[in-house]
Amino acid sequence: RVLALASLLELTGIVATMLFFLTAASVTRCLMLQHWTALPSARQEDDESGKGESLATRFGAPDQQSLGSGILMTALILLLIAFSGTLISSIGTGVVPALAAGTSIALLACLSFNRLCKVKISGRSGDTLGACQQLGEVAFYIGVLIAI
């Protein structure tokens, strides 16, 4: 992540890098929310570990309305950043294709990770939620760098 941000800073300048950083945070948290709602808890109440249910299981996954709200807010943030980035960043109209590439690759990475979690551990855990966000963020930066 640090290397990707340093590369972005060198290629696009501070303003565009800040916009990409904010977008990555928004997009990947939405993808984490999708991961949370798409998969059941990997650890069931009566598992052999003796640990009982996880905190995430106890409080429950977000409902579809929460996911929809997260997607809507992320879309609005993407539009705002695309518009403002086109006007004020050093790469001008190159912001929009870079955002599209970053978001697409992050989405692909997180959906692939969802499938892996379903196959390997039969669901999600707090660790997979965090891993989904981190994987998505790195994938987002890679997509942006490819597009630039």
Q: How many Cα atoms sit within 13 Å of 131 on the Cβ side?
A: 11
CA distance 124 to 6: 32
Most confident of 16-20, 71-75, 83-87, 121-125: 71-75
Residue 41 φ then ψ, to 5°:
-65, 135
CA distance 113 to 138: 13
Read off the DSSP letter of residue 46. Answer: T
For 16-25, what is each residue's pLDDT tens digit?
Answer: 899 999 999 9
Compute the chain's Rg from CA coordinates: 17
For 6-44, what is each residue's pLDDT tens digit?
Answer: 999 999 989 889 999 999 999 999 999 999 999 998 876
Query: Does this model's pTM top 0.85?
Result: yes
